[in-house]
Chain A
């Protein structure tokens, strides 16, 4: 589906499972401590598509929609109940009772629902009654004392099933239990007892370091205290540059350890350096021949709605699960991180369990003690709220994880589609897959989504990089393209671009077309109205003396006008541009961009057809066998004779003189004709076959007298018989074939050339515009030869030499996919110049123009 779905990780819990020789499969840690039962999770499936319902409240829409939800989803509850009553064994019925009640209880709560004691208690009670096992009594103590179940499963069963066989090494582990899915990336120890290949490691690590060092190198950190990093700086810089080249097209981020703000920036360097320095020796010393832990598996528990299942699990696995497991494995390889931490956690849990302590207290203790447990908790809290998780593994290794979110969409969802109010609506981020398109990144501006101060505060933690980064961030303005900024401040363009990509990826900024007072902005149809009240006060705080937010929106919602028309005086300019940036940031407004196609008028077509006819004739005339025919008219008559026989054979085209040129355009014009017919009298399309070779047409051909060089078939003729009641000679339009002067028309269109109107049975001149329909050239760069001729012809009509010269350049952008606003940066012309050129073409009426975002 092209529409982006609202971010929803559906993350419900994270489990860490290890398998060791001494302890076997073991569920080391799970977070949150008190987890909802799987049955409850399975029931809670309502997607958040229409989350922002703005109901009037006059009708009980909430109740109705939730009722509806339960009846539409394939919920296990009903089926369960049914089956449970059928089956004799009480197992299922007990379970379903739970799920039913849980469903009702837990439905309203999405995120924080599992803090609720009562539902958990009930679940436990059910389980106790149902299981009838020894543990039942202990579990009845309550959720916070419940050491034996996680997610409603017994721990021993769960840890076994989450320890897959070796064949799942480094593969995706995906186990679905009802609609709850466990996504993991199991990591196994190697046969030789190591967690990393020993031989190639040095090389690979070095490479990895370069990759990790990319950012660092690009930042040109001279004050880095990491020796390795500064040493490598020059080297990796050159490397990274070449790498950047490849990456230029779209922002690719170094896989694996992308740092997020505030933590990651130096982690790359740090990890690289430390690993180089320490990992060899340490991992060698700590790993013996018989390692205790053989596998660990970090399992993310999701409950995605059925329709989003594939998307959500894939996102989670690709962006979080896999990367996190890799990071853990890396730490494990360095100094047995996972196993050491696991032993510590198991130890604390064991003691707490024996002392009968509560889960939540124990969990607090564990999280405070173990960085691994803390990282899991951090991960859960961030990812389940669709935020970025900054994970701190140990002193030398930090990194960040996130599920990337769409920052813009070209599609405005209709009422039936998932809504994402507030999402920036634009086509400027749509990658047009044309080979000749240079990426726009350099010409884009960076719009920080938070104030520079906020971002700078977040990165204070980075001693070395903060200063360098602050320099970049302070210089970023949304009104200047990256290119301009880097030129002005003497920043390497690649660095700028990398920083930009980094900020964009980590949701700190968006790439936008530079804000310009000459551009037009409208209130985005996708603006998030439910956020309005908060936005008004935030806006008022920020721009106390300027027009209020509603006022600004009101201004921008009229007839689209350049933004500058709202700026009262030159002194207000900066403030108003700030407002615009603020509005863009919140998705309140979007730029109205202009798109255009070339419309070829019938006159041009006729002219080209005539020329081509003449060329064909000339060619024939040169032909030796035709030498006898010394006059053009004779030539012509022969041709038309030939053609009419050709036509009657049934292979007619509109331009028989150039059969080879019969391309899409011809088919289109046929379509046009057919369309015109059908819309006139709703006549069956079958008529289209009859009229082509009709004697009337041949006769008209023969009778063509007005033009000396006319040999073009006349498809429009037959429109007349189709509308018999039409007065035959209503047309008073001049029917002479147009001269170039005529072709620089004052008003050929946008009014509607009316072919059948100019039709006259007595002068069926094929080179008349009336025989042609206006058409649109969809892609000038891929135009057929005939289309190219038309375009050339149009180019000749321009009086302005400048325009003539730039016509081919303009054509590249007149395909309805490139915004005219982008022409100026792309082609390196001044905005005014482009506007002038474009205006010139538009005045000629050669364009179909549409404006959207």
Chain B
């Protein structure tokens, strides 16, 4: 909220004989010339030319009226009380304030003025708060006397005091509490206007920007909100959160929208190693800005450096680094506090740690005490590009990635806006529901993904293997499913290019990416696949990204891709 935005506050009354007159103004002389020693030399604008807007016809009374004059914006709320006790049966006043014309968020002040106007109306109606002051004090006497009376009157007037206090308090503290009498208190606060929250899609990933869990009092009595909070960790998608918290999806979305509205969280995409990220035009800002690089370094660094010399890496790695990540989150970076609860959740995606064993295996020497430098960060970020999956990027840059939490590295870029997720879309050009043999078009689409298809697949399998081991140690549930899954993991060759299109539907190896929930769904998925991709078709209009399709259908990307190929001629493209 801008401080000292209010330039003046004044109280105007309409007199049936004398016309409109400013009875109180703070500071003195800001609206009409005043002889007070402390008065401003020059009024902010000419009062005469705006009287018709301060005391308008009844049509415009009891509304918020604003108008601009001499680079000032006058915000008033003219009130007209019609009662027999007043002369001409009317009591018209306006308690207005003046701000800069260009003030962006003047609406907040408008709300204050509106509230004040209504309060004063109520006070006047209840006990003549305003009219009582005018009696016998000669406010309406003509000039000389009026001025003088006004002068003395300024000290004793409650309304004048109100003007003064509102101005000072709102300018200094953006809020005020002014007791009027035993039963009335004026409470005002400037609420900044916030942008409308975007619609929350089920496939977006919320990440808290402030630590809500450290607040001493619960932030809300909203049950949905309090249930989902522990699961908001920058990894889980909205629909996954709803599942984990056992809340209704639409309520969850609404609760998250609330958090977005109050800027408590940012929205990310679902992180996976199959995703593609590329720099935006703002990457230049990252390269130039030392501060951001420092911040990035703190955010992405895996605190444990020494594990490279550790001889028995392997089974424990996943959980260990995970814990480390949580611990690192606790110390310092506020954003990371939301991560600390993520220990058990990493099965959602590859944990970044699961890439490390490969790193050390490949190149143990540099991973020893490899310091993270700005240069490394720049090299890493600039080497991301369209058409390059994160998986391949990791393989390309393994030596540089030691000591770096890959997910955080990517997330940092997305949060700062210098990376963007390249989403994949599918569009059906012609539908033939019985699974069609792969056509030349599909192979064309394949080839654009890059020549190194086979290479990629074989390499993924190594990562997958590591991931798998960590899973064995960590997952104690779903034992039979798990063995099932791990067995499948060890058949990575299934996903090679040649067999891709034909066997994909039934090749469970493709489903390796989302583990916990996906594995349980394996059976239904396969049977679903046999029936054909009817629910899928509505997503094939080019408006639904793969994240969305996967979330909605509860399938892995590979599975979806496989089904899509069964649907007919479908073009897959990314933007």
Contacts and interface: CB of A to CB of B under 8 A. Distances in A.
B429 A550 contact: yes
Contacts of B385: 559-560, 851
Interface residues of A, number: 126
A691 B341 CA distance: 38
A47 B196 contact: yes
A197 interface: no
Given A557-B387, A756-B369, A675 B571 contact: no
Contact of A752 (B194, B196, B379, B574): B379
Contact of A848 (B121, B294, B378, B417): B378
A238 to B, nearest CB: 41
Contact of B60 (A76, A177, A676): A177
Nearest to B371: A676
Contacts of B417: 411-412, 414
A525 B574 CA distance: 8
A99 B254 CA distance: 26
A774 B287 CA distance: 13
Nearest to B288: A778
Nearest to B261: A72
Interface string B421-446: 01101010100000000000100110
A167 B121 contact: no
Contact of B199 (A53, A410, A532): A53
Contacts of B534: none
A55 interface: yes
Contacts of A174: 66-68
Contacts of A86: 118, 122
B575 A64 contact: no
A592 B386 contact: yes
Interface centre among B385, B414, B450 (most CB of A within 10 A): B385
A525 B379 contact: no
A160 B52 contact: yes
B280 interface: yes
A59 B202 contact: yes
A364 B60 CA distance: 30
A533 B542 contact: yes
B388 interface: yes
A178 B294 contact: no
A597 interface: yes
Interface string B553-575: 00000000000000000011111
Contact of B250 (A64, A548, A675, A851): A64
A817 interface: yes
Interface in B512-537: none
A524 B52 contact: no
- State the majority secondary structure of interface residues on B: mixed
Given A557-B574, A848-B378, A175 B373 contact: no
A242 interface: no
B4 interface: no
Given A68-B257, A555-B448, A556-B573, A532 B368 contact: no
B303 interface: yes
Nearest to A54: B543
B68 A172 contact: yes
A153 B279 CA distance: 53
Interface string B49-67: 1001100111110111111
B198 A416 contact: yes
Nearest to A82: B118
Contacts of A50: 196, 198-199
B298 A678 contact: yes
B196 A725 contact: no
Nearest to B375: A774
B575 A852 contact: no
A16 interface: no
A160 to B, nearest CB: 7
Contacts, number: 324
Contacts of B543: 54, 529-530, 532
A168 interface: yes
Given A54-B544, A56-B548, A559-B386, A752 B281 contact: no
Interface residues of B, number: 122
Contact of A49 (B193, B198, B372): B198
A778 B293 CA distance: 14
A723 to B, nearest CB: 6
A702 to B, nearest CB: 27
Given A55-B201, A310-B104, A682-B303, A557 B366 contact: no
Interface string B80-107: 0110000000000000000000101111
Nearest to A79: B114
Interface string A58-71: 11110011011100
Given A558-B449, A816-B287, A850-B283, A153 B59 contact: yes
Interface string A270-310: 00000000000000000000000000000000000111011
B320 interface: no
B573 A553 contact: yes
A525 to B, nearest CB: 5
Contacts of A709: none
B197 interface: yes
A594 to B, nearest CB: 11
Interface in B336-390: 365-366, 368-376, 378-379, 381-383, 385-388
A741 interface: no
B375 A773 contact: yes
B368 A176 contact: no
A848 B287 contact: yes
B305 interface: yes
Contact of B297 (A411, A679, A775): A679
Nearest to A599: B375
A559 B450 contact: yes
A629 to B, nearest CB: 40
A250 B102 CA distance: 26
Contacts of A309: 106-107
B301 interface: yes
B569 to A, nearest CB: 9
Interface stretch (A89-97, A377-385, A634-642): A89-97
B182 to A, nearest CB: 18
A816 B288 contact: yes
A73 B82 CA distance: 31
A309 B447 CA distance: 50
A117 interface: no
A618 B70 CA distance: 67
A559 B388 contact: yes
B140 interface: no
Given A161-B60, A725-B306, A524 B575 contact: yes
Contacts of A526: 575
Chain A to chain B: the 6 pairs with minimum beta-carbon distance, closest first = A558-B448, A550-B571, A559-B387, A176-B66, A157-B59, A532-B542
26 contacts: A47-B196, A59-B253, A61-B253, A154-B59, A174-B68, A175-B53, A176-B65, A177-B64, A310-B102, A310-B104, A410-B281, A412-B420, A416-B260, A529-B425, A532-B427, A533-B541, A536-B427, A557-B387, A557-B422, A558-B449, A672-B374, A680-B369, A752-B400, A776-B378, A816-B287, A850-B382
Interface of A: 46-47, 49-50, 53-56, 58-61, 64-65, 67-69, 72-74, 76, 79, 83, 86-89, 91-92, 95, 153-154, 157-158, 160-161, 164-165, 167-168, 172, 174-179, 181, 305-307, 309-310, 410-412, 414-416, 418-419, 427, 522-527, 529-530, 532-533, 536, 548, 550-551, 553-560, 592, 595, 597, 599, 668, 671-672, 675-676, 678-682, 719, 723, 725-727, 730, 749-757, 773-776, 778, 816-817, 848-853
Interface of B: 46, 48-49, 52-53, 56-60, 62-69, 81-82, 102, 104-107, 111, 114-115, 118, 121-122, 125, 191, 193-199, 201-202, 204, 249-250, 253-254, 257, 260-261, 266-267, 278-284, 287-288, 290, 293-294, 297-298, 301, 303, 305-306, 309, 331, 365-366, 368-376, 378-379, 381-383, 385-388, 399-400, 403, 414, 417, 420, 422-423, 425, 427, 429, 441, 444-445, 447-450, 539, 541-544, 548, 552, 571-575
